[in-house]
Amino acid sequence: MDYRPIERAPGAFQQPVTAEQIRAMCRRAFGKHVHVRGAVELGLGSYNSTFRVDLDNLRDLSDNPGATEVGGTRPVILRVAPEQARRYRSERELMRNEHASLPFLAPIAALLPRTLAVGFTHEILGRDYMFQTMLGGVPAPQGLAAYPRPRWASFFAQLGAITRDIHAVGGERFGRVAGPTFATWTEAVLASLSDTAADLEEAGLDAADLRQVAAVAERHSEVLEEVKEPRMLHGDLWTVNVMVEPGAAEPTICGVFDCDRTSWGDPEADWTIRMAGRRPGTERDAFWTTYGPLATTPEAALRRQIYRARHVGAIRLERYRLGGTRNLPETYDEMRDVLGCLHAAS
């Protein structure tokens, strides 16, 4: 077996998986007859450990149309979640959350990798894992670089349409697809802010500003209560989680992956909406031509500041986990701006 893990420091968040554990996971998922030719850890993402695994002797495995065969082998993707003790409470059971959300992502099913097998028993190793088909194409950041920047507009228009289709799916309660769920959007937002603040404080970071936002949100719960119908949110849909067709005349989306942060909520709270609006006057504006305009009421503007704070808190936590303490002050600067906007509007 050609095993190529990424070398990391002993205390790194993403912990190693042994070659024998990969063999055991493959045998359990595909049968004892399967032969693991190779496993290469991919440097994609900062949460799950992701491997391309090349397998021989697979039986009745239907590949995603975009997948390729190399040397008679079948490539699959293996994703291994962090140990439970290493997870933040605001990121609980993300892989299980993705697995539960797949039926609700039916509008974009043709773009998603197929789930081949999952393991949540912790019998082989004390971590969840999932096998998926390997998507064709190239990562969007790499693929977009092959086109003049003005032609990126078509990519963002496609992303707007995909996001609109996801947001059109309705649910029954607010919160993570796999739970916890809440009867009201106010409860879901306040729980999210509280969890993130607690994670930051346990990490030794100041979260007073996030708790101030939570207090404002609670005082103005009637604004959040205007959101009555839970809608499907992807939670992490942007260029880094999208594949594009190589060599197409225009940047063409052919795959979407990493759907583990899905939830039910207000579409305007989704990560994609934040990112699409961050650089007005650029090719990102094409997103709105297919997605549609955002609400313009004062109440909607107030809600968007609360959502902005949720994102900034999550960014602060992620930067800390990745060791990026140098960029932490930027999150405090932005949160001060959020608080200023909230106080001006309330």
Contacts of 99 (CB under 8 A, 6+ apart): 115, 118, 130, 178
Neighbouring C-alpha atoms within 13 Å toward the C-beta of 275? 15
Q: What is the CATH number of the domain that holds 223?
A: 3.90.1200.10
The last residue of one of the domains, among 136, 153, 187, is 136
**Rounded distance, CA 212 to CA 313, Å?**
12
Q: What is the pLDDT of residue 71?
A: 43
Q: What is the pLDDT of residue 61?
A: 54
Residues 209 and 337 in one domain: yes
Q: What are the 10-residue block averages of pLDDT along the chain, 346 residues in total? A: 90 89 97 94 87 86 45 85 89 94 98 97 96 96 95 97 98 97 98 97 96 97 97 97 95 97 98 96 97 96 97 95 85 97 85
CA separation (Å) from 271 to 146, 200, 219, 238?
26, 20, 24, 8
Q: What is the CATH number of the domain that holds 128?
A: 3.30.200.20
The last residue of one of the domains, among 76, 103, 136, is 136
pTM listed for this prediction: 0.93
Helices (H), 203-242: 208-219, 221-224
Q: What is the pLDDT of residue 326?
A: 78
| Structural domain count, the chain | 2
Q: What is the pLDDT of residue 43?
A: 80
Q: What is the pLDDT of residue 8?
A: 86
**Rounded distance, CA 338 to CA 312, Å?**
10
The last residue of one of the domains, among 107, 136, 165, is 136
Q: What is the pLDDT of residue 69?
A: 42
Residues 127 and 150 in one domain: no
Closest CA to 342 of 212, 249, 205: 212
CB distance 232 to 264 below 8 Å: yes
Q: What is the pLDDT of residue 66?
A: 42
Residues 128 and 149 in one domain: no
Residues 110 and 155 in one domain: no
Residue range of the domain that includes 219: 139-345
